[in-house]
Every structure is written in structure tokens, then in C-alpha cells.
Amino acid sequence: MQIISVGLIGFGLSGRSFIAPFLHCHPGFQLKHIYSSREQEIKKIYPSVEVTQNVNSLFQNSEIDLIIVSSPNSTHYEFAKKALLSNKHVLIEKPFVITTDEGKELISLAKEKNKVLTAFHNRRWDGDFLTIRKLLNSDKLGNIVEFESHFDRHRPNLDTANWHNQPKPGGGVLYDLGPHLIDQALVLFGKPKALFADLRVAREQGEVDDTFELILFYDKLRVILKSGVLIKELGPRFMVHGTKGSFVKYGLDPQEALLREGKLPETAHWGQDKEENYGLLNTSERKRIVTEPGNYMRLFENVYNAITQGEALEVTPESALETIRIIELAFESNHKRQVLDLTQD
């Protein structure tokens, strides 16, 4: 098996819990270098990995094949561009970039260098989302007329030291959790014909959006995407209504909780949902249906095959860029307090 040598930029929550464990478990990847100030923490988990505080050393290292950018949002474009110019393949944590212009430049550069460029839209492999894709493909719900997706949390205390909560490029919840919800909607339904966004700062002393509602308009379909930080009593994660019935799903995909606990994706029964969280399908009969097992490893397997065999990317950079365009338009809609027509966009 061909070994892909990896340099990881950043070892925060994403790098530590969502990326490094999969590189560790996949036989085709070798995590060799990490750019981070957390050397002691890293060495306890991955003693053979070299840790550096000089990010340029990763770009200059001829042994590294793939750079994974898992640093603050505002650095994604800069680091990805340097990696591509250094003839590295690149995987970027969401959001792909901050602006569409940045994304277009990276896509052009990746084509010029003949390198793989993709984004870490891992939520395409959430079990609940896979279940919904299967349901929609089966036509059990008929024509979908309303789709509502939530990513809510209860975080009343504002952590001003966290860059997500600071008024900097890429800060705020729309750039943080928005890419997950938007990407899933675009995968299911494609580009909308119009949108409206309401962004709010719900917490006192907050300086960036921490709550949003985004409505995507299609012909006979409305997609409602919501996220809030003052939601103590969680509602459904998904509500899907069609001409033949409805599907309602509570609870988050279990992979994040397992990864935060330090569990590895090779753990038995990985990605299997709790029975009490099975979604409710109400069509000709009302019943619980088993959630498809989630598995973020499929993203890494696809990236590996794209690099070694030329397999088509599941997450194309163009699709990641479409998510960024929706985010930009959401800010515009919120500012103008208007529904924006996207048919000419």
C-alpha cells in the first residue's frame, strides 16, 4: 500500500479529535509532522510525530505529500495556497475559505499544480444524514416540501478568548456550524433559487453572530437551517416533510462524542446510533427506523484514493466553494433584510 505522508497544521479540537485519530487508524496515511504549540500534549498521544512551531517547515519538507489545514478560519486560504505552491495535496477544515475569490484562486492553483484540493465536510457521513439520503432516494416521503435542520447548543457563557467569538474574518457561528448545515442541504437539493438570512447576537457582550436562521427557497420546497447557543431544551435535529409523509430525527450523530472522549474509529460498533435516537418515519404506518451507521473514515478513504488512484472526490472544491457563496449571500441578506434572488448569481 502506498503511504501518504501528512503534515497537520493545528491541533485544536478539529485536529486533535476529528482528524488525527483517522490518520492514525488508516493504514495508508502516516502523520509525520504537526504545526502546533501543544508539543507535550501531542507527544503523549503520538510520540513519533515531529512537532514544530515553524509552519513553513511543513511546506518546505519534500517528504510531506498532504497538508491538512486545521487552523483558525482566517488562515485557511494563506496556508492552503502555500501548500499548493509547494506541490502538496491539500485538505482544508471547514469553512473551505472566507471568500469566494479566495476559493476560486485555490481551485485554479490546484488544477495548475495537478494536486488534490478538498474540504473537510465530514458531516456528509453522519448517520442521520446518510439515513435521510437513503429515505429521499427511496421516495418513501414523496416530493419533499419542507426540510428543517438544526445544530443547536446551550452555551450561555461567552468565551471571549475563543477566536470563534471574536470579530475577525471567519468568526461567528455561520462560518463555524453553517458549513455543515449548508453543505448537507446543497448535497440533497442543489443550489437554491433564493435565500433569506437572519443573523443575531443572542448573548450579552457578544460581538459576532451566535444564532442564525437561513431559509433556502426552491420551487415547491423550503429548506430551513438553524443554529443557536441558548437552546437548553433541544428539539429535533432534522424534520423532513413530503407529499407521502414525514421523518423526524432527534440527537446528534454519536461520532463526535466518541472522538471527544478519545475513542478511535476502529472501535467496535463505530458510528451506530442509540436505539432511543432512531428517527420516526410516518407514512402509511408510523414506525422507528434504524439509523444508518455514520463513518467519517469514508472521507479519508476517498482522499487517499483520490491521491493514489485518481478517484473522483466526494467533496469537490467547487461544492465547498458553493457553501462559501451561500454564507456570503446570507450576510448580505441579513444586512439588507431582504430575500435575495439567486437565479442570476
Residue 260: give its domain's CATH number.
3.30.360.10
Domain count, the chain: 2
pLDDT per position as a tens digit, 317-343: 999 999 999 999 999 999 999 999 999
At 276 the pLDDT is 95
Residue 306 in any domain: the answer is no
Last residue of one domain, picked from the residues 69, 97, 120: 120
Residue 302 in any domain: the answer is no
Residue 165 in any domain: the answer is yes
At 271 the pLDDT is 95
Residues 190 and 279 in one domain: yes
At 167 the pLDDT is 78
Q: How confident is the model at residue 166 (pLDDT cuts 50, 70, 90)?
A: confident
Residue 43: give its domain's CATH number.
3.40.50.720
Q: What angle do CA 136, 138, 139 make, to 5 degrees?
A: 65
Q: What is the DSSP letter of 95?
A: S
Residue 310 in any domain: the answer is no
Last residue of one domain, picked from the residues 120, 137, 161: 120
In contact, 230 and 248? CB cutoff 8 Å = no
Residues 188 and 266 in one domain: yes
Residues 140 and 270 in one domain: yes
Residue 52 in any domain: the answer is yes
pLDDT per position as a tens digit, 296-323: 999 999 999 999 999 999 999 999 999 9
> What predicted TM-score, i.e. pTM, was given to this entire model?
0.96
How does the average pLDDT of the chain come out, rounded? 96
Residues 131 and 267 in one domain: yes
Phi, psi of 240, deg, nearest 5: -125, 125
Last residue of one domain, picked from the residues 120, 144, 171: 120
pLDDT per position as a tens digit, 102-160: 999 999 999 999 999 999 999 999 999 999 999 999 999 999 999 999 999 999 988 87
Among 252, 258, 272, 307, CA closest to 26: 307
Residues 85 and 216 in one domain: no
Residue 261 in any domain: the answer is yes
Helix (H) or strand (E) holding 288: strand 286-289
* Residues across the chain: 345
In contact, 320 and 96? CB cutoff 8 Å = yes
Whether the per-residue pLDDT at 161 is higher than 80: the answer is no
Residue 153 in any domain: the answer is yes
Residues 188 and 103 in one domain: no
Residues 113 and 233 in one domain: no
Residue 316 in any domain: the answer is no
Dig out the grid coordinates for 317 from the structure: 472544491
Q: How confident is the model at residue 81 (pLDDT cuts 50, 70, 90)?
A: very high
- Domain hosting residue 227, numbered range: 124-297+327-340
> Largest alpha-carbon pair distance within the chain?
61
Residues 279 and 155 in one domain: yes
Residues 25 and 73 in one domain: yes
Residues 139 and 242 in one domain: yes
pLDDT per position as a tens digit, 172-228: 999 999 999 999 999 999 999 999 999 999 998 888 999 999 999 999 999 999 999
At 112 the pLDDT is 98
